[in-house]
Each structure stands twice: as structure tokens, then as C-alpha cells.
């Protein structure tokens, strides 16, 4: 497994361009199963999660062609049974459920299981499908869904931690080809859900209210092939902004959507980080003095859970007491012990992490536990003195396109150590 060797203490300077959003492209690729016609998706990031999704689509019978950052999918015929091993590897693969139900009225998908950030149930996904008339049974690790007809319904999709992003995506993708009208209450408002709805609308779906907690979908008989460019990755952009701040550098981030990043930009500015916005470009630098801040992760448009770990790395460098409260995934604090290896002083009290910041960080070997935790360790390693070795960076490759190359382009001393 590859590792990343970081020589810290080098301020990042220069320009970086944001890639397409992982969390938008996965459901959009899945949605290509809804039509036998050809779909062309542009600005697709080169990520292992995207490769997995391409393999899953191919295993379901679709023809998939990758040409640079353009992926062409044509699913003339579809098999409703997903490959057990492929799906188990990636939580995001659950988003094939909705398209399979929409197109085939049948889906058989291996249960995605838990992961280090929490139990990650799919009860809300199944509630959505049942509301449209599907029967659900679990057998041999597979969840099998079937419906003679899919009929639109009013569905309240809120859960214990609020709306569900992929649950909303799944219900939307089934409902576009159902009979009649479906209303989703407590729908996720994330920009990635909006991008998916935009893609579906171009295909001929009738969707209103997207971006708000109430989405109304009027089913249509068929959908058509389209071309689409995926939105930029707001989590990647936020990670580069934080990297600029922790290293006391100045980075200009191109091709981002600052309008998708209000909560993050607002918190960074409250912490004293300087952000100059000009259209789709942001220039980020540390500012004169950093101040401690408190952050609570929330569904969009609140502070994203996917930036919590990176924000914690910044807090570790700010003199004073900062608190992060995690409200989306209960066990998403795996990075705390690893940040402590670099010298950070962080304690966990229930759903909150209390960061006593301002102690100098020094490099150490650390272990990446999940995607965003890995990003936090890379960010912290760049701020630490000496060498940091981040092991198991396959997590990073799942969600950050060419991260080592992009960081080197900003002057970081980062080297990938390939291990067979
Ligand atoms: C998506 C993102 C992930 C992000 C998360 C929250 C993708 C590929 N992944 O994941 O990066 O961290 O949104 O913004 O887009 N829940 C239930 N029952 C369900 C489904 C979810 O209780 O059936 C709970 C979860 O345990 C969690 C909360 O709802 O506490 C939000 O999860 P959800 O929005 O569904 O996350 P994902 O869509 O899996």
C-alpha cells in the first residue's frame, strides 16, 4: 500500500484547480442506468471510487468508456444484480439501488456494511423504495427489492441525524420513472443532490424544489441520453484552503464554487484566515492572527462533516480552545489519535472534540483511517516540523485526484512511496 512522505514547514504558494466532485459524480454515473441511450459525463475526477463505479456499471451490463476526464456510459440492457465484492468495497455504490428500481423494478445489491466513521445504515433508502411499492427482503448479505409497479408517494425521509444525501438521490432516481407524483420531505439540500437533479432533468425528468427540503417528482415514461459537466468538489477546495492557512502560504484556488462553501469560508474567516473571492477563484492566506473557533457539523448549508477533520488540523495550530461537535457521523473522530502523534492536544467529550491549540506539531508516522481523516493528516503533516509519513493513502486516492501532484505544484515537499 502506498504512503505519502511529507517534509513539513514549507508554505504553499501558487495556483491549483479543483476537480469534479466525487460525491456528485458517483450518483450521476449510477443515473446513466436509467436510459438505454448514451450519456457523456465531463469533468470526471480520476479517483479509485470512480473506477469502482465504472466497474460496477460494467458488471451490470453497461458499456463504459473513459477518455481523460470524460466518461461515456451506455446501458442498452441492464442486469438488476450488483456484484457482491465490488459493492462491498465502496459505500457510495448503494446509489445504484434507485436507478435499478426505476429502470428494472428490481434490484439486488450487497449490503454496504459499516465503516470506520459509523454504522451507516440504509434504512432510509429502503423506506423510500418501500413507499413507492417495493418489497424488501434481506438474504445472504444481499438486499433484494422488487415491485410490480412503482407508484409515486409522499415520503418523509428525515432520520436521526437529519436528511440523507444518497437516500435522497436513490429515491429521486427511482421516482423519476415511477407512475404519478412523489414528494420527498426532509430531502437533502446538498449541491451534489442538486447536480444530480439537474442531470436527471436534462434526461427528461420532471423535478421541482431541489435544493430545498421538499422535492416533488412527477414520473415520466422514459429518459434520454445527455451530456453533463459535474460540479467542482467543494470538499477538495476547502482542503486546499485549509492547507494554505496551516502552512502560512498563499494559494489561489481556481474553478471552485464559493457559493457552495458558505459555511466553511465563513468559519475560516472567523478564525482569521484571509479569503479573497473573485468569481470562481479564491485566494487564501493565513491572515495576521488566528483565533480559536467552534464548529458544529450539520447537513447543508451547515458546516460539512467531510471538512471536520481538516478543520481540526487547523484548530490544532490556533492558540486557545476550539471545539468541534460532530452531528452527522457519531464515530468520526478516528483522526484524533493520529493528530495527537504529531503533538496535537485534543480530547473527546461525547460528540465533541476539544482542541487545545497552539502547540507546535512535529512529524511522525501516522495511519490514515478514512478518506477525510487522511486529508487532515496530510494537512497537519505539511504544518509540522520534520517528516511525516502518512500510511495507507489508498483512502486519499478514493477522493482526491492526484493529490500529491497538486500539492507539489504548490511547492509542498510531498513524495509518494509506492509499495507493491
Ligand atoms: C454522503 C457522502 C459523504 C458525506 C455524507 C454526509 C457520498 C458518496 N457520500 O454519504 O461523503 O459524509 O453524505 O454529508 O455522497 N443515515 C441513516 N439511515 C440511512 C442513511 C443515513 O440513519 O438510511 C444516517 C447516517 O448514519 C448519518 C446521516 O444519516 O448519520 C447522514 O448520512 P447520509 O447523508 O446518508 O450519508 P451518505 O449519503 O452515505
Kindly tell me if the per-residue pLDDT of 419 is higher than 90. Answer: no
Q: Using one digit for the tens of pLDDT, what is the confidence trace for 187-199?
A: 999 999 999 999 9
Whether 302 is in the pocket of ligand 1, judged by its Cβ within 6 Å, is no
**Which atom of ligand 1 is the closest one to the Cα of 304?**
14
Q: Are strands 70-74 and 38-42 parallel, antiparallel or unpaired?
A: antiparallel
| 341-347: Cβ within 8 A, 24+ apart | 341/365, 341/366, 342/316, 342/366, 342/377, 342/380, 342/381, 342/384, 342/388, 343/384, 344/312, 344/313, 344/316, 344/380, 345/316, 346/312, 346/316
| Nearest Cα residue to atom 26 of ligand 1 | 120
Distance of CA 189 to the CA centre of its chain: 14
pTM of the full structure: 0.97
Distance CA 287, CA 291 (A): 10
CA dist 145 and 84 (Å) reads 15
**Among 77-91, 129-143, 312-326, 340-354, which stretch is predicted with the lowest mean pLDDT?**
77-91
Contact 13, 250 (CB under 8 A): yes
Between the CA of 410 and the centroid of ligand 1 the distance, in Å, is 32
CA 316 to CA 361: how far, in whole Å? 8
Query: Ligand 1, residues 29, 159, 332: which to mutate, most atoms within 8 A of Cβ?
Result: 159
User: 328 in ligand 1 pocket by Cβ < 6 Å?
Assistant: yes
| DSSP states along 176-221 | TTSBSEEEEES----HHHHHHHHHHHHHT-EEE-BTBSEEEEE--S
Of all helices (H) and strands (E), which one includes residue 268?
helix 262-270
387: CA distance to ligand 1 center in Å?
A: 34
pLDDT in tens, 11-52: 999 999 999 999 999 999 999 999 999 999 999 999 999 999
Task: Calculate mean pLDDT across residues 89-118.
Answer: 85
**Looking at the chain, how many residues does it have?**
420
pLDDT at 115: 58
Residues 58/62/65/68 CA torsion (nearest 10 deg): -70
pLDDT band at 87 (very low <50, low <70, confident <90, very high): confident
**Residue 344 · residue 359 · CB < 8 Å:** yes
Least confident range of 233-242, 316-325, 374-383, 411-420: 411-420
Q: Is the CB of 159 under 6 A from ligand 1?
A: yes
pLDDT band at 117; cut points 50, 70, 90? low
For residue 68, the SS3 value is coil
Ligand 1 center to residue 363 CA distance, Å? Answer: 33
Q: Which among 159, 82, 81, 83 is positioned nearest to 118, based on CA atoms?
A: 159
d(CA 1, CA 308): 25
Spatial distance between the Cα atoms of 69 and 149, rounded to a whole number of angstroms: 37
Residue 307 corresponds to which cell in the numbers above?
471538512
> What spacing in Å lies between the alpha carbon of 129 and ligand 1's midpoint?
17
Burial of 37 (0-12, 13-18, 19+ CB in 10 A): middle
115 classed as catalytic? yes
Q: Give yes or no for residue 98 CB within 6 A of ligand 1.
A: no
List, for residues 2-11, the tens digit of each pLDDT value. 999 999 999 9
Is the Cβ–Cβ distance between 395 and 370 less than 8 Å?
yes
* Tally of CB atoms within 10 A around 388: 26
Amino acid at each position: 500500500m502506498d504512503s505519502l512522505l511529507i517534509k513539513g514547514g514549507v508554505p504553499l504558494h501558487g495556483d491549483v484547480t479543483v476537480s469534479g466532485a466525487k460525491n456528485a459524480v458517483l450518483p450521476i454515473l449510477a443515473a446513466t442506468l436509467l436510459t438505454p441511450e448514451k450519456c457523456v459525463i465531463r469533468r470526471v475526477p480520476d479517483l479509485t471510487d470512480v473506477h469502482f463505479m465504472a466497474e460496477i456499471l460494467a458488471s451490470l451490463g453497461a458499456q463504459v468508456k473513459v477518455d481523460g476526464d470524460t466518461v461515456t456510459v451506455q446501458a442498452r440492457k441492464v442486469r438488476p444484480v450488483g456484484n457482491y465484492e465490488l459493492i462491498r468495497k465502496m459505500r457510495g455504490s448503494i446509489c445504484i439501488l434507485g436507478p435499478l428500481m426505476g429502470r428494472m423494478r428490481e434490484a439486488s445489491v450487497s449490503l454496504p456494511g459499516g465503516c470506520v466513521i459509523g454504522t451507516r445504515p440504509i434504512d432510509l433508502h429502503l423506506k423510500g423504495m418501500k413507499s413507492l411499492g417495493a418489497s424488501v427482503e434481506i438474504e445472504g448479505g444481499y438486499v433484494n427489492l422488487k415491485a410490480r409497479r412503482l407508484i409515486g408517494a409522499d415520503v418523509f425521509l428525515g432520520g436521526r441525524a437529519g436528511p440523507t444525501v444518497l437516500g435522497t438521490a436513490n429515491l429521486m432516481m427511482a421516482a423519476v420513472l415511477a407512475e404519478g407524483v412523489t414528494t420527498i420531505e426532509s430531502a437533502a439540500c446538498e449541491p451534489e443532490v442538486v447536480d444530480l437533479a439537474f442531470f436527471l432533468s436534462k434526461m427528461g425528468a420532471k423535478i421541482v424544489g431541489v435544493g430545498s427540503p421538499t422535492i416533488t417528482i412527477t414520473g415520466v415514461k422514459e429518459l434520454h441520453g445527455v451530456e453533463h459537466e459535474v460540479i467542482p468538489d467543494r470538499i477538495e477546495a476547502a482542503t486546499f484552503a485549509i492547507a494554505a492557512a496551516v502552512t502560512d502560504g498563499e494559494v489561489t484556488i481556481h474553478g471552485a464554487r464559493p457559493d457552495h462553501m458558505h459555511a466553511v469560508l465563513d468559519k475560516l474567516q472567523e478564525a482569521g484566515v484571509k479569503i479573497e473571492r473573485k468569481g470562481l477563484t479564491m485566494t487564501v492566506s493565513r491572515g495576521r492572527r488566528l483565533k480559536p473557533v467552534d464548529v458544529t457539523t450539520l447537513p447543508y448549508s451547515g458546516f460539512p462533516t467531510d471538512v471536520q477533520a481538516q478543520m481540526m488540523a487547523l484548530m490544532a495550530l490556533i492558540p486557545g480552545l476550539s471545539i468541534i461537535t460532530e452531528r452527522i457521523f457519531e464515530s468520526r473522530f478516528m483522526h484524533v489519535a493520529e493528530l495527537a502523534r504529531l503533538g496535537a492536544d485534543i480530547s473527546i467529550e461525547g460528540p465533541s472534540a476539544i482542541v487545545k491549540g497552539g502547540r507546535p506539531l512535529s512529524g511522525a508516522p501516522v495511519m490514515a483511517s478514512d478518506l477525510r481523516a487522511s486529508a487532515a493528516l496530510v494537512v497537519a503533516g505539511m504544518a509540522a516540523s520534520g517528516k511525516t509519513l502518512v500510511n495507507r493513502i489508498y483512502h486519499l486516492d478514493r477522493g482526491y485526484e492526484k493529490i500529491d501532484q497538486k500539492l507539489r505544484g504548490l511547492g509542498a515537499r510531498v513524495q509518494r512511496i509506492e509499495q507493491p
